[in-house]
Each structure stands twice: as structure tokens, then as C-alpha cells.
């Protein structure tokens, strides 16, 4: 006689589907809630914490191409020519980036624009209303037709300075400044072959006098909100 205890039942056991993960195992449920809380915390942090910009000048164009605006100064005798040049740059830049670039005279730049775009400023600082409001955050000293850095003052008639730093009105965006002693020194600064052309890309600032670059480099970013010239 066979020992039936040696044989397992051939009946298929009834299968019960597991309870939903949000209504079943408490450990799983609380784990998922913790993960969701972490995700929400990170999202909130990213919204409230400004993106830390790092430069160099090239990053102004890569950072957010759809949020670029050109502003030119109107306080000098060559405001019309400077405006025409700003429009020319906007066309060339827009074609390169695949997105139209806004152009405004300084007198029409409102807070909505200044706080929500990376700004490209053209012209002498004393002739640009926007540049003057931000001047205290610039790591260079400007007076008259000259500029000073680390105690060295440049007063030659044909200098050009290009520099990029966080927009002091909204540090998620940049300010890129093209300036010189006159509008005539700035017009053509981006155009290869122009006597005013200055090569600029992989540094935070470039200072040229005549046809020579006399200084260029990266800013000290120990304080992310206020970039300064590195000590030597």
C-alpha cells in the first residue's frame, strides 16, 4: 500500500494577486512616500536656489539661448550707429543659435526684461542707463573715458573691454558687456576683419588696446554672487 503522505497534492493552489503597493505592505508604502518627498524637496530647492553660473563668455550663449536680449546705450552721439550694429549682431547671433534675439535701446528696457534675460550690453558705460545701474557689481572701475583694473589705468583712445558675470538682478542669467571709450570703439567688436574685433570665448574677460590683447582671464568666483578679479 502506497504511503500517500509521500505525495504532494496535484491540485493547483489558488493564486492571490498581491495587494496594491500603496494599499498593501506598509514598508513599501512608506518607502515610496519618502522617495516622493525627496523628489519634491529637490524640485523645490532647484526652484528657490539660483543656478550657479560659472562662465566663461561662451557660456552666455549656451546657457539659455531663448533668453538672450541685446541692449545698446543711447546717451552718446553715435547712438543710431550703435543701434544699427546691435541689430546686425542680433541677426547674426539669431541665425547661429536658431532663435530670434531681442534688441532694445536702454531707454526701453523694463524690469521684466532686465530680470528674466541674459543681457548683452553694447556701448560706453556712461552712455548706457542699464550698465550704469549695474556698475557697482562690475569688477572694473570706470571713469571718464578710461578703465582701471588692479590699480592699472587704461586711458588710451582705442581700448575695448569684454566681460561676463551673473546678472545682479537675477543670478540665473548673465550680463555680457562690450564697452570702450566710445561707441565707435565698440562697433565691429564681434566681426572678424573689423579693426575693433576682439577674440573672446574661453575666458571671463578680455581687455584689448589697439590690436593687442593686454589682459584676459577668469574671475575669482569665491562669492558666487560677486565675481572679482583674481589677486596677483
pTM for the full model? 0.78
Rounded distance, CA 231 to CA 219, Å? 10
- Strand 68-72 and strand 152-154: the pairing is unpaired
Q: What is the mean pLDDT of the chain?
A: 84
Domain boundaries, position 72: 59-217
Band (18; pLDDT cuts 50, 70, 90): very low
Judgement on whether residues 108 and 128 belong to the same structural domain of the protein:
yes
Judgement on whether residues 121 and 210 belong to the same structural domain of the protein:
yes
Predicted confidence (pLDDT) per residue in 34-80, tens digit: 555 555 544 444 444 456 899 999 999 999 999 999 999 999 999 99
Question: Which of 150 and 229 is assigned the larger pLDDT?
Answer: 229
Is pLDDT at 212 greater than 60 in this prediction? Answer: yes
Rounded to 10 degrees, the C-alpha dihedral 110/116/117/119 comes to 50
Rounded distance, CA 34 to CA 102, Å? 44
Query: Does residue 222 belong to any structural domain of this protein?
Result: no
- CATH number of residue 201's parent domain: 3.30.379
Judgement on whether residues 180 and 97 belong to the same structural domain of the protein:
yes
Judgement on whether residues 208 and 110 belong to the same structural domain of the protein:
yes
114 contacts: CB under 8 Å, gap ≥ 6 = 130, 167, 169
Spatial contact of 214 and 208, defined as CB atoms under 8 Å apart: yes
Query: Does residue 104 belong to any structural domain of this protein?
Result: yes
Query: Does residue 93 belong to any structural domain of this protein?
Result: yes
Q: Which of 6, 30, 49 is the last residue of a domain?
A: 49
Query: Does residue 200 belong to any structural domain of this protein?
Result: yes
Burial of 170 (0-12, 13-18, 19+ CB in 10 A): middle
Judgement on whether residues 40 and 93 belong to the same structural domain of the protein:
no
Query: Does residue 5 belong to any structural domain of this protein?
Result: no
Cα distances (Å, whole numbers) of residue 55 to 3, 122, 172, 182: 83, 19, 12, 26
> Domain tally for the chain?
2
Question: Which of 145 and 121 is assigned the larger pLDDT?
Answer: 121
Query: Does residue 163 belong to any structural domain of this protein?
Result: yes
Query: Does residue 105 belong to any structural domain of this protein?
Result: yes
Spatial contact of 118 and 66, defined as CB atoms under 8 Å apart: no
Query: Does residue 23 belong to any structural domain of this protein?
Result: yes
Amino acid at each position: 500500500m502506497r504511503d500517500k503522505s509521500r505525495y504532494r497534492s496535484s491540485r493547483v493552489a489558488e493564486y492571490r494577486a498581491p495587494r496594491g503597493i500603496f494599499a498593501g505592505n506598509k514598508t513599501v508604502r512608506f518607502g515610496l512616500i519618502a522617495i516622493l518627498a525627496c523628489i519634491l524637496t529637490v524640485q523645490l530647492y532647484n526652484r528657490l536656489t539660483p543656478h550657479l553660473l560659472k562662465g566663461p563668455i561662451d557660456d552666455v550663449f549656451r546657457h539659455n539661448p531663448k533668453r538672450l536680449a541685446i541692449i545698446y546705450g543711447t546717451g552718446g552721439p553715435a547712438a543710431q550707429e550703435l543701434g544699427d550694429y546691435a541689430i546686425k549682431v542680433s541677426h547674426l547671433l539669431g541665425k547661429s543659435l536658431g532663435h530670434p534675439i531681442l534688441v532694445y535701446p536702454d531707454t526701453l528696457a523694463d524690469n521684466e526684461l532686465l530680470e528674466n534675460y541674459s543681457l548683452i550690453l553694447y556701448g560706453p558705460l556712461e552712455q548706457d542707463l542699464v550698465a550704469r545701474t549695474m556698475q557697482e557689481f562690475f569688477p572694473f572701475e570706470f571713469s571718464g573715458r578710461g578703465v582701471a583694473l588692479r590699480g592699472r589705468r587704461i586711458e588710451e583712445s582705442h581700448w575695448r573691454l569684454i566681460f561676463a558675470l551673473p546678472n545682479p538682478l537675477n543670478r540665473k542669467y548673465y550680463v555680457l558687456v562690450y564697452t570702450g571709450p566710445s561707441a565707435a570703439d565698440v562697433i565691429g567688436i564681434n566681426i572678424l576683419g573689423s579693426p575693433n574685433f576682439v577674440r573672446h570665448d574661453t575666458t571671463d574677460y578680455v581687455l584689448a588696446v589697439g590690436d593687442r590683447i593686454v589682459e584676459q582671464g577668469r574671475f575669482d568666483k569665491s562669492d558666487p554672487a560677486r565675481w572679482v578679479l583674481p589677486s596677483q
